[in-house]
Structure 1
Amino acid sequence: MYDAATVLLREYYRVTGWNEQQSYTQLMRAASVLVDFEVPNGVLLSSASTQVPSLLSSARLLLVPLSGALGYTHVATPAPFDTRCIQHAEKRLSFASPFLTPDHPPGLLPYRDASAHGLWDALRRRAPPRDVLMYGCFHVPTTYVEGVVAMRLAPHWQLLMTALSNAPSYPLLPLARRLGLVAPGVPSLPKLVAPGATNLQLTLQMQTERTMAEYSYSVDDALWGMHVLRTLSAPTMLQPGVLSAGGEVFVSFAEMSAGFSLGMRYAQPPIVDAQGRRVSYPAVSSVTLNPMMGHVRYAYTAQAEEDLTLCARYDLNVYSYLSDLTLGAEYCLGPPTDDDARPAELPTASLREQRGVWKPKRAPGAELSLREDTLGWPAVRPAEVPPAPAPRPPDAEAPGGASVDGVRPDAVTPAAVPGAEDEPRLAAAPAEVRAASELPATPTVPPAPPAAPGPPYGLLKMRASASGLFALLWEGRWNQCLVSAGVQTQVSMHPTLSATSTLGCEIVYTEE
């Protein structure tokens, strides 16, 4: 399942109209969500709540080994922000279907400061109340602090900052040495302890209708990078698919290294005919190439049925000829229906039938059934059930100008006269047949359209690779909790190595 920070960041992108799937780093997002899912390790408990509309808190507790995390999130957007998204199953569960149509996002929303047409104009002018999301989390007992800040600078520019800081084991020791409280020449054991470190990464993103560029810098290893992804073909009636291509370049001055990669993605959206019936399901095909490392990766993800998604990913190194094939599947579990709760075999007779309150209608000429013979019900013969009289127009008059309630005296049927049940039924006159045929037909009510499927109740994921990695994961709702349970096994082909397994469960409490 996604954590609270990921769900809030995706909701922030949706509210502000930012398409995160147009980024080059999200080129194989559909395949990675379906194949590279994480199985919980141990027993993990988490919860999230909303104190005020703009402040949310989340907590996580891992029982084995014992550790925890406490985080807070602040959101400020002009559009209404759904703070209860962290409690929705369709957003917390890791479904792969939302990433099968990456080129059909909601349009960019209008920015507050319409006079600012670019980044420099927005920075020169007085800063308006900007769209911002700030998240911070503290981990214990590891004393790690992580933070995420997303800020909208201009209609097509956004700043994303991520940081991870590890406090030193003895934070006051350098200050004590500077103040002279500890002699500089005195040896101390804390020298063997690694000092604290902070990794800060800044990413400046620019997004237009067909292009997205990202410029990033990492403080830890002085890594500069640039990512570009552009849509090459727009969807048409004859060719609804969308083709996108891009690449990345990165340079590290600390390690004196550089590299680049190329990628391409073809997305096939779902096709619907004029009657609203789905003709084909969505599919995404992606390929990436790293020439310096010689690594080639190809992934194909498609929705086979309404509730079944399949994926195949192939990795190859052209220098060492090492390869790996990974297969994955995702099956969506819907909520229980009335047919599932109904027993397979119904009783032969209901309580009303046994008490004689209600008798079933039988077809003409049918014989007594065993149940009717046992209960003593009389057989219903067709001669004992006279047909209903033909309807008459309200203005029909009897011969001689007299009428009886709008019906002629000679048209009165024996069934309407008391004591005439045993007399044979008279044939209807041709005039009655013509009068009945001239009556307006009863308007037919069109059948109601089928009900739209409700939100998914859960999902079941499976992964198998040629390297011997097998994993199974189930995510779903149980009462007021979201539960994720899975198992992962690594089978080694080497005779000296044994298989390793991981079993875990994660429970997220949601408030109604």
Structure 2
Amino acid sequence: MLTFMDYIQTAFHTSSQWNQDNSYSFLTSTAQSLLDFEIPRGLRLHVSSLPSPNLASSYTLSTTGLLDGSISYLYSSLPLSIPSASTSLDLHDFIRGYRHLVPPRAPEEAWWWEVWHRGKRVDRRDVLLYGRIFLPRNSLEALYLRRLTPTRVLKISAVSDAAFPNGASVLGVVQNDHGKFSTEYLYSSDSALLGVRGLYNFGPDPRERLSTPPSIPPSPISSLLPHSDPNPPTTPPGLFSAGAELYYGILNKSGGISTGLRFTTLPSHTSFPYTMTLTLNPLMGNLSSTYAVKAGRHLALCSRFDFNFYSYESGVLVGCELWRMNKYSKEVEWARKRMLDASSVSSGQKVGMSGVVGGEIPSPLDVAKRRLDDEDEDVTGVLKARVDQNWRFGLLWEGRFKEVLFSVGASLDLGKREQIFGGFGVEVQYSS
């Protein structure tokens, strides 16, 4: 489950119209959400608030053998009009599950951001500032995020801790998103690491529809007729992407490289959604493939297979998530459908077994919208589970109880008969 500050940062990206999924860093995010979920250890309590659309604060208290905690504050120059109370939050925004990706969108033109007043530009770029101090360790982490242009974001994160050789570490990343492709350039003070990442999306270029004028100018009469647009928007059912990353440490004179592929269905896909990825690290010899599928409205399955060409070692990890719906919401939905069916029959319309009213067949976009609307129903929690080839289990239950969000998890290792129970933890979040 995301923390409240992670929720605010995600809202900042969404409000500033930045697509995080169009990045090589998020190539395997779907499988990671289903398989690599974090199991809490000990007891952890979060108390957060959003007193204004520009300010947020959070306080954390945890017991993992020792009593410790943290205090964090966040400022956003972009007002965030989002729900903040625990009772009104959508669990889909806090619980990472199967990710429905959308087609890449064309970036806005740079001049759209210009604001002029009396012959002078007065527009400013959106900025997010975040700071967190850990007690009693007195370590500090900070984040500076700035939207430079419609296609560029600057992100600088720093950590001050005595555990680092120089006492601190700084990471700077410049991200560029052009819709059709994206690039990232990063620098880390650890070993003077330099890196570059890139992702390319096959298929139609979303920028062409904005830059290419229509071949036939529409007339006043033709504009009233159906299908009069000479360049109708395309809605592909799937998205195929390829990317790679390259990094090199100047001080330790070592580097690395990796490449990956991803195919995922888009909302216009009429059948069940699924995502497949394949990543390769040729220097280390690691090959990893994942397959995630939305098997039902509230059920998602995922598997990952890892193999090493040099050691011939392999691993298999299987996981699933099952959402639990609110019983009251189900009863209301059932009553609403019965009333719609009754009104359709009384008005003389035919209602077939497929649910089509009046003999009209819904379009793929209507089917996709209906499916996404069904997923926005009120939910009370989700059960996540995973198991690998060595019979090591991970169980996690996340949901809402009264006015708090909670996560309860446990890890089991059936291969160790003397110590099967690996750990147990509870995490509670309250926000206002």
What TM-score, normalized by structure 1, do the two folds share? 0.65
Match of 1:444 among 320, 343, 347: 347
The secondary structure found in structure 2 opposite 1:33 is helix
Match of 1:489 among 389, 412, 431: 412
- Corresponding residue for 1:26? 26
Deviation of 1:147 after TM superposition, in Å, equals 1.2
Match of 1:199 among 156, 165, 169: 169
The whole-number CA distance in structure 1 between the counterparts of 2:412 and 2:392 is 6
The whole-number CA distance in structure 2 between the counterparts of 1:100 and 1:314 is 22
- Corresponding residue for 1:36? 36
The whole-number CA distance in structure 2 between the counterparts of 1:339 and 1:108 is 40
Pairing of 1:290-301 with structure 2 (within 5 A) = 290-301=281-292
Give a deviation string over 1:237-275, Cα, whole Å, max 9, x none. Answer: 896221100100000011110111111101122456xxx
Q: Any gaps of 5 or more consecutive residues in structure 2?
A: 206-232, 333-344, 358-369
- Corresponding residue for 1:138? 133
Point out which structure has higher relative CO (alpha carbons under 8 A, 6+ apart). 2
Give the letter aligned to residue 77 of structure 2: A
Distance 1:214 1:326, change over 3 A: same
The whole-number CA distance in structure 2 between the counterparts of 1:339 and 1:217 is 50
Bigger strand share: 2
Distance 1:465 1:8, change over 3 A: same
Match of 1:323 among 300, 305, 314: 314
Pairing of 1:329-344 with structure 2 (within 5 A) = 329-337=320-328
The whole-number CA distance in structure 2 between the counterparts of 1:162 and 1:490 is 36
What is the RMSD computed on CA atoms of the aligned residues? 3.1
Matching of residue 501 in structure 1 with residue 422 in structure 2: yes
- Corresponding residue for 1:275? none
What TM-score, normalized by structure 2, do the two folds share? 0.77
Distance 1:110 1:135, change over 3 A: farther
Give the letter aligned to residue 26 of structure 1: F
Give a deviation string over 1:142-182, Cα, whole Å, max 9, x none. Answer: 111111121011111110111111159xxxxxxxxxxxxxx
- Corresponding residue for 2:390? 467
- Corresponding residue for 1:246? 243
Distance 1:226 1:196, change over 3 A: closer
Distance 1:144 1:232, change over 3 A: same
Match of 1:165 among 155, 160, 169: 160
The secondary structure found in structure 2 opposite 1:30 is helix
The whole-number CA distance in structure 1 between the counterparts of 2:93 and 2:47 is 12
Does the 8 Å contact 2:329/2:377 carry over to 1? no
Distance 1:127 1:228, change over 3 A: farther
Does the 8 Å contact 1:59/1:71 carry over to 2? yes
Matching of residue 510 in structure 1 with residue 413 in structure 2: no
The whole-number CA distance in structure 2 between the counterparts of 1:132 and 1:238 is 33
Task: Count residues in correspondence.
Answer: 366
**For the pair shown, which has the larger CA radius of gyration, 1 or 2?**
1
Give a deviation string over 1:216-245, Cα, whole Å, max 9, x none. Answer: 000122100000001022499896221100
Distance 1:131 1:491, change over 3 A: same
The secondary structure found in structure 2 opposite 1:21 is coil
Pairing of 1:299-314 with structure 2 (within 5 A) = 299-314=290-305
Does the 8 Å contact 2:106/2:178 carry over to 1? no
Distance 1:481 1:284, change over 3 A: same
Does the 8 Å contact 1:48/1:509 carry over to 2? yes
Does the 8 Å contact 2:73/2:130 carry over to 1? yes
Does the 8 Å contact 1:299/1:313 carry over to 2? yes
- Corresponding residue for 1:402? none
